[in-house]
Amino acid sequence: MKNKLYGNLIFELSREGRRGYSLPRNTFGDYEIPQELCRKDEAELPECDELTVVRHYTNLSNNNFGVDTGFYPLGSCTMKYNPKINEEMAALPQFQNLHPRQPAETTKGALALVTLLEKSLCELTGLAHFTFKPYAGAHGELTGLMTIDNYHRSHGDLQRKKVIVPDSAHGTNPASAAVCGLEIVEVKSGSDGQVDLEDLQRICSLCGDTVAAMMMTNPNTLGLFETHIPEIARLIHDCGGLMYYDGANLNPMLGACRPGDMGFDVMHINLHKTFSTPHGGGGPGAGPVGVREGLQEHFPFVSPYHGNFGVMMRAYAYILSLGREHVKEVGLLATLNANYIKESLKDVYELPIDTICCHEFVFDGLKDKSTGVTTMDVAKRLLDYGYHAPTIYFPLLFHESLMIEPTENESKETLDGFIAVMRQIAEEAKTNPDEVKTAPHTTPIGRVDDVLAAKHPVVTYRQMTAEATD
């Protein structure tokens, strides 16, 4: 059982007079600090011995869950292993200590790296130029859409303001279009989970020369490869619009096929996803935007420097360590792993679109709906077994979406362990549903009220006195 001491705040561990440091004897004599610079009250600082401090923070850090501590099947985010060589490269002092306003002649190595990374990304995507300024995928979407908007304006096409977005799209797609001052037109998905071509034809004939672009993710957010991209690109190009590729799901296509060859004109890459940078908790990221030849002159000004350089270094180290011949295996293994889990669980979890998937797939909850056990319950129960939960309730196309992405670098043993636990939970849902519905039972805190936590967050902590904790 966990020692209760480590659940406390550092202030609660404080005891008057405890010291965690020792200073050398003062040989300089006292220095009189002017009275007006002195604080009126004592600083409220915890007083702890060094060992208590070390244990407190080490134990707190053990409450973190990350790719380095366990399997992390979060779909739509590509939380994959980040090889340690990347960290070593990104920490090289010659790069890490660069200042963005250093004279250009002293930063040639960094600029060379940007150029080499651009060349690699062009080769991998089939596009001609990249800008590295955007700080994340969503920022890349905005940059890409502004590029498209600038392009249309330069042709006097001021009426081109409509952006066609599939109903399965990630929320950032319509959000970026709106921020860019564009109008969103939603295109439906068919029963096969792909863009409904008839609906798109209807939209194209309706919107005609007001179409600015179509945004697509491929494989889409259901993990399905969109097989009609050439027809879709033709429809959009015939209207005079441009094709935007949301590169968040580039992982399974790496080395296998290229957005540029499929008819996309503009794209972003989430370097932190596909090219491995630890990015939990919202950062850091990099969302370089690539374009077809000729469009680069329409890049907008979105930030003064070359983006998050550390993420770019990790991406380049990752690409170099795989090399041309092994980069292909990323997509193949990611796809194999996802299909292996899907096939091993589809008899107990509902698979609404039963087809070969790419790097991720979506269940619609448990197959047996009579138990009342929801996707939320399954996700919470997984925590008891030491797994990070998959993505839940996204995409919005199904009521009980449970989206699993195993990534290319997980071993068969890890996948088998996860499959066994998912089957175990499906069994528990029948034999002991309350255990699942009240999970998690082994984490520092149980199930929080997520609606209340979002609407009425309690962001202060009532500190207990030292006596109360004794």
Ligand X SMILES: *Cc1c(COP(=O)(O)O)cnc(C)c1O
Indicate the residue among 149 and 246 with the shorter CB distance to ligand X.
246
Of residues 196, 226, 246, 364, which one binds ligand X by CB under 6 A? 246
Q: What's the rounded Cα separation, in Å, for the pair 225 and 68?
A: 29
Stretch that binds ligand X, among 15-23, 149-157, 246-254, 432-440 (CB under 6 A): 246-254
Region near ligand X per CB under 6 A, out of 91-99, 121-129, 135-143, 461-469:
135-143
CB of 174 to ligand X, least distance (A): 11
Residue 401 contacts ligand X per CB under 6 A = no
Mark the segment that binds ligand X (CB under 6 A) among 134-142, 149-157, 182-190, 443-451.
Answer: 134-142
Does 180 help bind ligand X (rule: CB under 6 A)? no
Q: How far is 427 from 422, CA to CA, in rounded Å?
A: 9
Nearer to ligand X, 48 or 180 (CB): 180
**132 closest CA partner among 143, 146, 147:** 143
CB of residue 407 to ligand X, shortest distance in Å? 13
Q: Is residue 288 a contact residue for ligand X (CB under 6 A)?
A: no
Would you give the DSSP letter of residue 31?
-
- Residue 212 binds ligand X (CB under 6 A): no
Q: How many residues bind ligand X (CB under 6 A)?
A: 15
CB-closest chain residue to ligand X: 137
Alpha-carbon dihedral of residues 292, 296, 299, 304, nearest 10 degrees?
A: 120
- The strand pair at 183-187 and 162-166 is best described as parallel
Cα-Cα end-to-end distance for the chain: 19
Q: Which is nearer to ligand X, 48 or 77 (CB)?
A: 77
- Measured from the CB atom, the residue of 13 and 358 that comes closer to ligand X is 358
Q: What are phi and psi of 251, to 5 degrees?
A: -40, -55
Contact segment (CB under 6 A) with ligand X among 49-57, 102-110, 130-138, 303-311 equals 130-138
Residue 138, interface with ligand X (CB under 6 A)?
yes
Q: How far apart are CA 175 and CA 311, in angstroms?
A: 24
Kindly state whether residue 270 participates in binding ligand X, applying the rule CB under 6 A. Answer: yes
Measured in whole angstroms, how far is the alpha carbon of residue 89 from the centre of its chain? 22
Sequence-separated (6 or more) residues with CB below 8 Å from residue 138: 172, 175, 176, 287
Tell me the pairing of strands 361-364 and 289-291: unpaired
According to DSSP, the residues that pair with 120 across neighbouring strands are none
Site for ligand X in 35-94 (CB under 6 A): 76-77
95: its two tokens:
């790069």
Q: Looking at 109-117, 131-139, 297-305, 428-436, which segment touches ligand X (CB under 6 A)? A: 131-139
Determine if 137 is a binding residue for ligand X (CB under 6 A): yes
Q: Is 170 in the site for ligand X (CB under 6 A)?
A: yes
Tell whether residue 335 is a contact of ligand X (CB under 6 A). no
Two tokens, residue 217: 């993710």
**From the CB of 62, what's the least distance to ligand X, in Å?**
27
Q: Which amino acid is at 2?
A: K
Q: Spell out the long-range contacts of 97-104 with Cβ–Cβ below 8 A and sequence spacing 24 or more.
A: 98/309, 100/304, 100/305
* 120 touches ligand X by CB under 6 A: no
Of 14 and 391, which has the nearer Cβ to ligand X? Answer: 391
Backbone φ and ψ of 126, nearest 5°: 80, 15
**Alpha helices (H) along 390-411:** none
Binding site for ligand X (CB under 6 A): 76-77, 136-138, 170, 172, 217, 221, 246, 248-249, 270, 285, 287
